Chains A and B, each alone.
Chain A
């Protein structure tokens, strides 16, 4: 019979009882997306790494408050994203710069020709610039939904807003973005 890896819920339950090895498994399973989120919100690899490490330690300390039956990933990401915001603030970087830095070297692969590459790069840069011109709340929701590929419910948990707010904010952000890029 094949052994299935334990689910997040099972690992969280063991970690809540003080099982550090179970928590280590949770760290290994989620540190990739946690780092990606932190990098997106800080624009700095060093700050992102610190935000992830501190975030996991805080998550461990807060496991007693974890609601049984809730999803671990958005709960963790909320802690990490808050840490990332704190780091960016203490570094006194503006929010738009953080996103720009994350996008600065965005590069596609399998580019068919230099001309197409230029067009693609210009198109991408226009989209990046348009995203960065959005206000912070709209950017955050787009970052969660499309750059971290979180569901609406996960996004709501990560950003600490209601589900309906994610829906309306996403629709509004897309509308503004559409107006910007079609100009």
Chain B
């Protein structure tokens, strides 16, 4: 163990932590009221698993996919599975879609929340609608990776709409630091932003590539790029 590690250990032992209170009686009183952990919980879990299995089964069967319109919600993202994608004229003016170009330092101070960042600094940083902070790696016309963070969006207040081609998109459930996540891969999907009333903003329409989306610390985070699920999870894990 290095000297620095020994100093940290010593510091930890010197911390002024108050005497821990005995909470056992209060915990017991609470669990007496809250009872019953297991059977109900297992039932809920079993039901949740059934719903998920049914959803995945539906996604896997082309006929069922084309017959239904389905929604997933995660953080501020509303995901729709549709038969036909809307037409996208061409590559979007990404800089117009993403918002005002700022420096990383400006984004950190203007964002209003602690940004999750990768070790590598982005090539472009943008402040967009709904206080979204975008990190762009690569160039606007050759994007390697796009990371967006939108804070304070309620679960019932979508701001991003994704339309997935029912026939060609795969939806995998995953987990990022314990938060449920979805990985959308396969054919490019359509993404557009929604305004405060939930109306689509047509000028924000663009095609997106594989994306991992999850909700963490009160924000919706998206990682978009040419990524496998493992690579996306690795990147998500290294955000700090």
Contacts and interface: CB of A to CB of B under 8 A. Distances in A.
Interface of A: 16, 18, 20, 23-24, 27-28, 31-32, 34-36, 39-40, 45, 49, 52-53, 56-57, 60-65, 78, 82, 85, 89, 94-95, 102-108, 123-124, 127-128, 131, 135-138, 142, 145-149, 159-162, 165, 169, 174, 177-178, 181
Interface of B: 2, 4-5, 7-9, 11-12, 14-18, 20-24, 26-28, 30-32, 34, 36-38, 41-42, 45, 114, 117, 177-178, 217-218, 237-238, 240
A36 B20 contact: yes
Given A64-B45, A146-B5, A177-B4, A27 B237 contact: no
Contacts of A40: 15, 17
Given A24-B28, A49-B21, A146-B9, A63 B2 contact: no
Nearest to A94: B114
Contacts of B15: 40, 102-103, 106, 147
B24 A27 contact: yes
Contacts of B238: 165
A107 to B, nearest CB: 7
A60 B37 contact: yes
10 contacts: A18-B38, A20-B32, A52-B23, A61-B34, A104-B16, A147-B8, A147-B11, A162-B237, A165-B238, A177-B4
Given A24-B27, A31-B23, A82-B178, 8 more contacts: A18-B37, A20-B28, A28-B24, A35-B17, A35-B21, A56-B23, A107-B16, A149-B12
Given A39-B17, A57-B31, A138-B240, A24 B11 contact: no
Nearest to B43: A64
A61 B41 contact: yes
Contacts of B38: 16, 18, 63-64
Contact of B177 (A36, A61, A105, A161): A161
A137 B7 CA distance: 20
Nearest to A17: B38
Contacts of A160: 177-178
Given A127-B7, A146-B5, A147-B8, A62 B27 contact: no
Counting chain A CB atoms within 10 Å of each CB, the highest count among B8, B42, B117, B177 belongs to B8
A26 B19 CA distance: 18
Q: Which 10 A-B pairs have the closest CB atoms?
A: A137-B240, A147-B12, A35-B20, A146-B8, A105-B16, A160-B177, A64-B38, A64-B41, A160-B178, A56-B27
Contact of B30 (A32, A57, A145): A57
A63 B238 CA distance: 29
Contacts of B218: 89
A127 B8 contact: yes
Contacts of A39: 17-18
Contacts of A85: 217
Nearest to B38: A64
Contacts of A20: 28, 31-32
Contacts of A61: 31, 34, 37, 41
B237 A65 contact: no
Contacts of B34: 57, 60-61
Nearest to B176: A160
A57 to B, nearest CB: 5
B198 to A, nearest CB: 26
A107 B26 contact: no
